[in-house]
Homo-oligomer: A and B are copies of this chain.
């Protein structure tokens, strides 16, 4: 924007980490984690595969940057809610929905400490626990539990999405899982058998929220 010494006859834009990360997210959204290769990325950006290494250390770095980008959008979107309990649910559902929209992210979030994404989620939960008046030591344990639980659900959702790629019939998926669980030895898997019947009619998002509420209720019960 300063000097117009460069005639733009070369390429549309210079390469930058920002542009690379955006392109990576596009590829990931379109084809999942396996679709992100340096060759595909280079083709998408009309450059050589080696050029990418001038802006990104390696593939792990690129994946972390992509994850962080998406999470940042989620967490900053969450405005200050009046009720801290409701705000915690909003943060949790924000992460849940983001993972739903970017299926590749679930596996990443639960695998990498994502040195930047983790504090963001932590802050989202922890700030509200303070507002709830939870004692200091309990805040740490509780925020930790909320984060771990959320990332755990994220990972499993990603795994499920991986098993049933596109718009596979969700009902069919659950029915298949229930049937498989029902096939296990009834003596050793008594509880699993009982739950198998409830599997087809349960809602992932609702059950996720139910878990958040359990941790919240436990926090208030144990640290009044």
Residues of chain A in range 138-166 having any CB-CB distance to chain B below 8 Å: 139-145, 147-156, 158-160, 163
> Bound complex: CA of A110 vs CA of B215, how far in Å?
20
* Chain A 195-224 near chain B by CB (<8 Å), digits 1 or 0: 100100010000100110111111111100
B123 touches A191 (CB 8 A): yes
Q: Which residue of B lies closest to A127 (CB)?
A: B191
A214-B145, A215-B218, A216-B218 given; A153·B155 CB < 8 A? no
> Bound complex: CA of A125 vs CA of B145, how far in Å?
17
B211 touches A215 (CB 8 A): yes
> Bound complex: CA of A166 vs CA of B143, how far in Å?
28
- How many monomers of this chain does the complex have? 2
Q: Which residue of B lies closest to A154 (CB)?
A: B152
Looking at A21-29, A41-49, A80-88, A182-190, the stretch in contact with chain B turns out to be A182-190
A145-B149, A159-B112 given; A122·B192 CB < 8 A? yes
Cβ–Cβ < 8 Å partners of A55 in chain B: none
**Partner pick for A141 among B119, B126, B163, B210, CB 8 A cutoff:** B210
Cβ–Cβ < 8 Å partners of A123 in chain B: 188-192
Residue with the greatest number of chain B CB neighbours at <10 A, chosen from A144, A152, A160, A213: A152
Cβ–Cβ < 8 Å partners of A219 in chain B: 214, 218
B127 touches A190 (CB 8 A): yes
* Chain B nearest Cβ from A221, distance in angstroms: 5
Of all A-B residue pairs in the complex, the 3 with the closest CB atoms, nearest first, are A152-B152, A218-B218, A126-B191
Complex A-B: 28 CB contacts under 8 Å: A110-B110, A110-B151, A110-B156, A113-B163, A119-B184, A119-B192, A123-B188, A123-B191, A123-B192, A130-B191, A139-B191, A139-B195, A140-B195, A140-B198, A140-B207, A141-B207, A143-B195, A144-B207, A145-B211, A147-B152, A148-B156, A149-B152, A152-B154, A211-B215, A213-B218, A217-B217, A217-B222, A220-B221
